Structure 1
Amino acid sequence: MAAVWSRIGRGAQLSLSLSLSRTFYDGASAASTLRSAAALSRARGQHASSLHSLAGRSAGHLLQPPSRGIVTTPARLHPASSAAVVAELSDAEARESEAVAAPPRQMPSLGPTRPGEKPRVVVLGTGWAACRLLKDVDTRAYDVVCVSPRNHMVFTPLLASTCVGTLEFRSVVEPVSRIQSALATRPGSYFFLASCTGVDTKAHEVYCEAASSDGQLPCHPYRFKVAYDKLVIASGAEPLTFNIKGVQEHAIFLREVSHAQEIRRKLLANLMLAENPGLSAEEKERLLHCVVVGGGPTGVEFSGELSDFITRDVRQRYAHVKDYVKITLIEANEILSSFDIGLRQYATNHLSKYGVNLVRGIVKEVKATEITLSDGTRVPYGLLVWSTGVGPSEFVRSLHLPKSPGGRVGVDEWLRVPTAPDVFALGDCAGFLEGTGKPVLPALAQVAEREGRYLARLLGRIAAQNGGKAHCAGKADLGEPFVYKHIGSMASVGRYKALVDLRENKDAKGVSMAGFLSWLMWRSAYLTRVVSWRNRFYVAVNWGTTLVFGRDNTRIG
C-alpha cells in the first residue's frame, strides 16, 4: 500500500503540473485541482510543500475572470490532462485514486447575457436561410453567434458547374465572416465551427460538439454549450435515400462543395484510368458510365453540364476513350415535374439529343459497381450521383419539438416554434404546422432566403419594442405573418439552353419559355444573386475563360 500511495502522490503532482500548464482554465477549476491534489498528498504525508509552492507561483495568472462571458473547461474534463497518471497506475490503484477525489463536472460554455448587455441570437447553420438572416440582422440590437460545421455558404444553383470545371470551387462559396462581419469583429459575437447536438428550450441553451480538430483541442469530442436569448434553427436538410441499401456507401450527393470535389476527382480519374492498357471494352464502358439518379433541377442541370463537358472537352482531350463515355439519368416519374409540361418535353428532347439516356425506373439496390432497378435491370456504373431531394436531418428528427407534415420542425405563421419560447426555425428544416392551414413550402433557395429576410425584420421589431431579451417575444406586436409568393423556376439543360417558368405554381398560368434567351436570363439572374461582388467577378471570369479556353481538366488530390 505504501508503494501505491507513493505512486498516487507522484501522479497527483504530475496531473497538477499538466493542469496548471493549460492557461485557458478558469480560477474555480484551478482551485479545485489544487484542493484535490493537496488532499492526496496529505493522506500520504508527502509532496505538500511542493504543491503549495507550485500553487503560489501559478495562482496569480490563473485566477482571472473569464473573458467575453466564456466559461472555460476545467482540467478534470480533459482526459489528456490525466493520461500520464492513468498510464502509470494499475487498475486497482486508479480506482483507489478516483475514490479519494471526484469533483463535479462542468461543461465549458458561453453563459447567459447579463443585464445591460445586448440580447444574443444564436443561429444554427450557414445555408441560404441562415446567411440571409445573418446578413440582415441588426447587430446594433443583438449580439450574434453562429454555430455550423462549415464556415461558408454554398451558392447551390451553380454547384453543378464546378463538378466539370465550368466554375472554380471558390466562386460558389462565401465565408460567413464576409456575410456578417460582426462575427469576426464584435466582442459579443462569435462563429463556432461545430455541430449542434441538442437544444434545452427550458434552460435556453444549445449543446454543441466542435468539428473534427485532428487532435488540436484538449479532448475529442470537444463539447460545449451556448446560452441564447433567441434561437434560430436553420440547420438545413439531408439527401433522401429512401433507405435504399448501398446509397450512403457508394453514391455521391450534390449538396456541398466537398461533394462536387469528389465528383470531379472521380470523373477525371475514371477518364484517365480507362486509357490504361489491358482493359476490356466492357470494363471501359462501365468505368465511363455516369449515372444520375433524380430528375429534379439539380439532376437535370448536372446531366446538362456533364453532356457539355463530354461533347466539347472529353472528345478533344481523351480521344482514346471518348466513344465509351455514357450518361444515364434515372427518374421514377417525369423529369422536372414542377415545371410546365411544355418545358418538361423540351428538356427531355434536348437531353436525349445530346447523349443523355433517360430511364424511367426505381432504384432497388446500389452496389460498388452497379445498381439494380425494381424491374431487375442491372446498370453498371463508374460514377453515381444521387439527387432525389432532401428530407429532415438526423439532428432535426432528434429534437423534441413540434413537427410539420414530413418531419420538419413545425412553425407558426411567424416562423416561431410553438411550445418553445424564443425559438424560431426556417429554411429546409422547417415547415408550417397543420394547424396554420398553410402547405409545407418547397425546399428552395428562394423560400429560405425570404424566410431569413423576414425573420431579421421580425427580430428587429421585437428588439425595438422590448429589448429582445429572453421571454419577451410573447408580449411584442409581431406584425404581418410570413407569406411566400413563388416568383418562378429556372434550370439549365446544357448547350446554351435553359428553361424559365414564371408561373406561381404548377397549376397556374404564366410565362414559360426555353432556349438561348432563357439561358441568358438564367445566367444573368444567378450572376446577380451571387452574394458578393468578389464572387460575381470570379463567376464572370470563369464563364469567359471556359468559353474561350474550355474547361479545366486538372485532377488535384
Structure 2
Amino acid sequence: MSWFRSLIQRSSIRHPLKPSKATPSLSLLLSAEFSTGTEAAASREAGLGPTRPGDKARVVVLGSGWAGCRLMKGMDTKAYDVVCVSPRNHMVFTPLLASTCVGTLEFRSVAEPIGRIQPAISREPGSYFFLANCIGVDAQNHVVHCQTKTDGVGTLEPWNFNISYDKLVIAAGAEASTFGIKGVKEHAIFLREVYHAQEIRRKLLLNLMLSDVPGVTEEEKCRLLHCVVVGGGPTGVEFSGELSDFIMRDVHQRYAHVKDYIHVTLIEANEILSSFDDRLRRYATKQLTKSGVRLVRGIVKDVQPEKIVLTDGTDVPYGLLVWSTGVGPSPFVKNLEFPKAPGGRIGVDEWLRVPSVQDVFSIGDCCGFLESTGKPTLPALAQVAERQGKYLANLLNQIGKTGGGHANAAKDMELGKQFVYKHLGSMATVGRYKALVDLRQSKVTEYLLQEAKGLSMAGFPSWFIWRSAYLTRVVSWRNRFYVAINWATTFVFGRDISRI
C-alpha cells in the first residue's frame, strides 16, 4: 500500500487545503453568479420588447385551455412567433377528467403538454412558453404585464416582467362560481384541473381506509363515506356516475367491511342536465337513482368543515365535497378595463375582437358577444372554445398573409366571414355503461338550449358513442393510446385503488 500513500501525499501537495491565489473565493463566485443587486433587479424587469420591421409578428396567447390551445395548434408559425403565458404547461381534456378521480384513467392521459400541441414553442427562437400569470394589459402600448408562478416551492421568488405583442389573444378561461357562499373555497374541491382530480382521489381513498380503522364510530363512518356533489350539470352528473360505478364494481369487492356505509348525494337547485332533452333527463335520473345516487333538490346556504347547510335548514354531513355549479369571470377578467358582455365576460364583436382597442382578441369562457352585436352569450362549453380557437387561428393567419400581422397594421383590413357557432350536440355518461347523447340541432341562448328537432338517445349504444367520440377528440395519438389502454386495463383488472 506504499504506492497508495505516496499518491495521497502527492495529491495533498498539488491541492493544499488552503486555497491558492488562483482559486476564486466563495464570495467572488457568488458575485459572479448573481451580480450586484441593481443588476439582478434590472434582469428581473426584463421581458420581450417590441418586434422590429424585419421580424415575424408576435402573437401572445394568455391561457392554455381549449380555446388557447386550439388557436396555437392552428397558427402559421412561418408568419408569427407564438408566445403562451399560462399558470400550467399543459391542456386538460376536461370531458374525461372525472374518470381520473376514481382510477378509470391515469392523470397523464388527460394532460397534453403545450410543446406537443404547438412544437414551435419548443424549437423556434422567437416562440416561448412562460409559466406565469398575466396581471395586466396595457393595450395602448401593446404590452402585457406578467408575474411568474412558482407554486410556493421557494426555488425563486415571484417577479414581474413585460411582453410586447403585435396581436394579443385573451383565452384566460373562467373560474368556478361559488355565488358568494361562505366556506366553499375553503372546504369544497372543484373539478377543473388535474390537481383537483388528484386531490379528490387522495381524499376519497383516505376516507375509505380511515373508516376501516378500529375505533371509528358508526356516525363518523357514515360522514367520512358520504360523497356530496353540488351541481347537476354534465360535470356533476358524470362525476356522480363514475363514483357510483366505482362503488358498485370496486369498493364492494375491496372494502367489504365498509361497503354499506358509502353513498353519493347529488344536490341541484333545479333540474339536472337542464340543457338536455326531457326524456334524457328522466333517463339520467332513473339510472343515477338505480346506481345508488341520492338526488336532492335544494340550495346550499353555508359550507362548514364537516357539513353543508341548505336554505331549508337541512344539515348534510360529508367526507368529500365536490363543487360543480358552473363558471364565472375570473378576477383578472373583471379587472380588465374593456367593455363587458352580459355576465361580466370580455365583450367581443362578430370577429372575436375587443372593439375598443387595437389588435386584441378574446376567445373561450372569458368572452361573450357584446349586446350591440345582437348575438346571445354562448355557453361555457369545450366545443364553443375549440371552434372559436380554430376560427381565430384561420383569421390571424389570413391577416398575417396580407401584411397585417404587426401592431396597428390591420386597422382598415377586411376580415371576411364572421364567427358563427352551430351547436353539434351534447353527451354525458351516467355510469354502468350508460350514457346520453343529444344531437339536436339546437338554437343556443344564454346557458340554455331551446327545444329543436334532432336525434337523442340513451343507454349502452350512447355509451359506446360517448367513448368513441372522446377517444377521437383526444389531442394526440400518444394520449389516445394511453386512454385506450387505461380503459382496457380497468375493464379487465378493475380500477387502481393505490393512494399515491
- TM-score, length-normalised on structure 1? 0.82
CA distance in 2, matches of 1:377, 1:346: 27
Q: Considering only aligned residues, what root-mean-square deviation do their CA atoms show, in Å?
A: 1.6
CA distance in 1, matches of 2:178, 2:124: 41
Structure 1 equivalent of residue 109 of structure 2: 171
Q: Counterpart amino acid of 1:229?
A: D
Structure 2 equivalent of residue 532 of structure 1: 476
Structure 2 equivalent of residue 205 of structure 1: 143
CA distance in 1, matches of 2:192, 2:241: 17
1:216 aligns with 2:216: no
How much identity, in percent, do the aligned residues show?
Answer: 70
* Pairing partner for 2:388 from 451, 460, 479: 451
Structure 1 equivalent of residue 51 of structure 2: 113
CA distance in 1, matches of 2:31, 2:167: 36
* Pairing partner for 2:467 from 523, 534, 544: 523
1:454, CA displacement in angstroms? 0.3
1:19, CA displacement in angstroms? 8.4
1:441 aligns with 2:452: no
Structure 1 equivalent of residue 324 of structure 2: 387
Q: Deviations over 1:460-518 (max 9, x none)?
A: 11111124100022222200000000000000000000000011223111111000000
Q: Secondary structure at the match of 2:206?
A: helix
CA distance in 2, matches of 1:22, 1:474: 46
Q: Secondary structure at the match of 2:78?
A: coil
Structure 1 equivalent of residue 487 of structure 2: 543
1:6-25 counterparts in 2 under 5 A? 21-22=32-33
Check whether the contact 1:167–1:543 (CA below 8 A) recurs between aligned residues: yes
Structure 1 equivalent of residue 352 of structure 2: 415
* Pairing partner for 1:184 from 115, 119, 122: 122
CA distance in 1, matches of 2:252, 2:453: 42
1:278, CA displacement in angstroms? 1.1
Check whether the contact 1:119–1:467 (CA below 8 A) recurs between aligned residues: no
Q: Deviations over 1:58-108 (max 9, x none)?
A: xxxxxxxxxxxxxxxx32458xxxxxxxxxxxxxxxxxxxxxxxxxxx821
1:41-120 counterparts in 2 under 5 A? 74-76=39-41, 107-120=45-58
CA distance in 2, matches of 1:208, 1:150: 14
Q: Secondary structure at the match of 2:358?
A: coil
Q: Secondary structure at the match of 2:393?
A: helix
Check whether the contact 2:61–2:169 (CA below 8 A) recurs between aligned residues: yes
* Pairing partner for 1:511 from 450, 455, 460: 455
Q: Secondary structure at the match of 2:309?
A: strand
- Cα gap change, 1:19 to 1:416, in 2 (>3 Å): farther
Pick the structure with greater CA Rg. Answer: 1
1:265, CA displacement in angstroms? 0.1
CA distance in 1, matches of 2:169, 2:41: 32
Q: Counterpart amino acid of 2:58?
A: R
CA distance in 1, matches of 2:219, 2:42: 57
Check whether the contact 2:404–2:410 (CA below 8 A) recurs between aligned residues: no
* Pairing partner for 1:226 from 132, 148, 163: 163
* Pairing partner for 1:295 from 216, 232, 248: 232
CA distance in 2, matches of 1:438, 1:555: 48
Structure 2 equivalent of residue 134 of structure 1: 72
Q: Deviations over 1:192-243 (max 9, x none)?
A: 00010000001100010101163333xx221101000000000100000000
Structure 2: gaps spanning 5 or more residues: 1-24, 443-449
Q: Counterpart amino acid of 1:179?
A: I
- TM-score, length-normalised on structure 2? 0.91
1:108-507 counterparts in 2 under 5 A? 108-212=46-150, 214-217=153-156, 220-505=157-442, 506-507=450-451
| Structure with the higher helix share, 1 or 2 | 1
CA distance in 1, matches of 2:238, 2:373: 35
Which one scores higher on RCO, CA 8 angstroms, separation ≥ 6? 2
CA distance in 2, matches of 1:304, 1:212: 36
CA distance in 1, matches of 2:185, 2:92: 22
Structure 1 equivalent of residue 15 of structure 2: none
CA distance in 1, matches of 2:410, 2:33: 41
Q: Deviations over 1:255-298 (max 9, x none)?
A: 00000000000000000000111111111000000000000000
Q: Secondary structure at the match of 1:221?
A: coil
My pick for the range that moved more, 149-158 or 466-475, is: 466-475
CA distance in 2, matches of 1:514, 1:18: 69
Structure 1: gaps spanning 5 or more residues: 1-13, 34-73, 79-105
CA distance in 2, matches of 1:555, 1:283: 21
Q: Counterpart amino acid of 2:40?
A: A
1:553 aligns with 2:497: yes
Check whether the contact 1:466–1:476 (CA below 8 A) recurs between aligned residues: no
CA distance in 2, matches of 1:18, 1:404: 55
Q: Secondary structure at the match of 1:322?
A: coil
Q: Counterpart amino acid of 2:372?
A: G
My pick for the range that moved more, 107-116 or 375-384, is: 107-116
Q: Deviations over 1:113-157 (max 9, x none)?
A: 012000000000000000000000000000000000100000000
Q: Deviations over 1:499-540 (max 9, x none)?
A: 000112231111110000000000000000000000000000
1:449, CA displacement in angstroms? 0.3
Q: Deviations over 1:38-67 (max 9, x none)?
A: xxxxxxxxxxxxxxxxxxxxxxxxxxxxxx
CA distance in 1, matches of 2:318, 2:428: 26
